[in-house]
Amino acid sequence: MNTPAHAILNLLVFKRSQEHNAPILIGALLPDSPMFIFYFVEKFIRNMPENTIWAHAYYNPHWQDFFDIFNSFPIIGLLFVIALWIKNNWLQLLCKSMALHCIFDLPLHHDDGHRHFFPLTHWRFSSPISYWDPNHYGQIFGLFEAALVIIGSVILFRIHTSKVWRVSIAILIMIYIAYLIFALFFWSDLVA
């Protein structure tokens, strides 16, 4: 699932009052944050071509560990237990949102999934469905995801009347559209 879609859907699933949206939003985005760091380093610091980034660098064990730390149910669970122990509602919501992100991701990665039980095991679920790969229903899922984002955004606009959160939702939608355009222009030849 694309990162901005996680944000929209997590906000929709939790439907908390507006003052609780920040940890939900951050928790929805946090599991993918290592991917943005990875892409920046490989593309702009190492000047690596797109094909090499996604066919080779992505699978580097050090990068995989970095990605999987942020997508690990045991690590998120441990952080959640700490949040319960110190009675920190903000951190609890952040952990719940991170876990929901991982739950959404689990069935949507064919050969590029995370080790969601890292560091306890190196097992990866290889789904027959990919959120991006047309060889594994990526085009169909892409349309489904876009529909969910549109419907979810409309619902969120109705729920949240605050100007700040409406602007935030509009920004998420614009980022989602920009991401799709970027993927179309820069990555479409990688899956052809």
Domain that holds residue 180: 3-190
Domain total of the chain? 1
pLDDT in tens, 35-62: 999 999 999 999 999 889 988 999 999 9
pLDDT in tens, 115-140: 999 999 999 999 999 888 888 888 89
For the entire predicted model, the pTM comes to 0.89
Tokens representing residue 136 in the block: 């594994």
Burial 146-162 (b: 16+ CB within 10 A, else e): eeebeebbeebeeebee
